[in-house]
Amino acid sequence: MDEPIHVPVLLSEVLGALEPQRGGLFVDCTLGLGGHTGALLEAGATRVIGLDRDRSALGVAATRLAAFGERVEFVHADYRQLPAVLDARGVERVQGVLADLGVSSMQFDTQGRGFSFRRDEPLDMRMDQSAGPTAADLVNHAGEEELANAIYQFGEERFSRRISRALVAARPITTTGELAAVVRRAVPTKGWQRIDPATRTFQALRIWVNGELDGLDRFVSDAADRLEPGGRLAVITFHSLEDRVVKHTMRGLAADAPGAFRVLTKKPIVPREEEIAANHRARSAKLRVGEHPAAG
């Protein structure tokens, strides 16, 4: 099988924000296929602890980063388990923390994962396939109101109630193709559409299945607490719901403890036109950065 294509998003901007040339221990909380971690190590990071809840991604990253030897450690864990991961290794503080939230290219592109409606495959959508309900479980067993609320809250879909009614009427729904077809029929359309009518519903189900917003504010706070003086936190988001949480949490930390945390990005850093042209999945990425100010 061909190796998954991997283009780390906002790579030069992440390196500029985290400044790995200073050396020290960094944590890549969403290792994925290892693109950001490899760049951090090449740029001078002494060591990187890489977390991911997708065992398949960890396996690919371990192969890709094998040349770095003991300078990188691979941990099967959710990014929100950062404090426990560091405590288990006796690590109090780190030089930098990176979180690249959302679904990786490998998860979108690998057959059988169920993240994309571009193929008809089992409706899974779990980032960690070893635990938790699938998207099919939620679509087929949730009540109509609960389903509508999730599609509205996580997908910002104004036709959520109409879609929920259609999904309940069409049960059982077991594949991405079936789901997309039901949603497209339920959403009224006129003429050309900028995005596929199923896009927001797929986003909502993915966020719901993986609890992507659960504890995100706590993670930002926990990561800020573990920074060394001069250490930095960089978070990449891909939709407005995530970005809003990261923005407000960072601002709150800076207001509550200005000597312990400050925001370095008044506005999020976004991809350059050249990057978007080369990698269309980067188009919605936003990078926010904060730091533990160095003493003196």
Cα dihedral across residues 155, 208, 109, 167: positive or negative: negative
d(CA 284, CA 223): 23
Angle at 32 between CA 30 and CA 38, to 5 degrees: 95
- pLDDT (tens place) for every residue of the chain, 296 residues total: 344 456 799 999 999 999 999 999 999 999 999 999 999 999 999 999 999 999 989 999 999 999 999 999 999 999 999 999 999 999 999 999 999 997 766 666 677 889 888 899 999 999 888 888 999 999 999 999 999 999 999 999 999 999 999 999 999 999 999 999 999 999 988 766 778 999 999 999 999 999 989 999 999 999 999 999 999 999 999 999 999 999 999 999 999 988 899 999 999 999 999 999 998 889 999 999 999 998 65
Q: What pLDDT, on the 0 to 100 scale, is given for residue 190?
A: 75
Residue 187 has which token pair?
A: 């959403």
CA 13 to chain centre: 17
d(CA 238, CA 253): 22
Write the DSSP string, 181-244.
HHHHHHS---S--SS-TTHHHHHHHHHHHHTTTTTHHHHHHHHHHTEEEEEEEEEEESSHHHHH
Architecture of domain 111-210: Orthogonal Bundle (1.10)
| Domain at 11-102+213-291, CATH from 3.40.50.2300, 3.30.70.1560, 3.40.50.150, 1.10.1660.10 | 3.40.50.150
Per-domain boundaries in the chain: 11-102+213-291, 111-210
DSSP state of 2: P
Give the residue from 240, 159, 179, 174 showing the smallest Cα distance to 207: 240
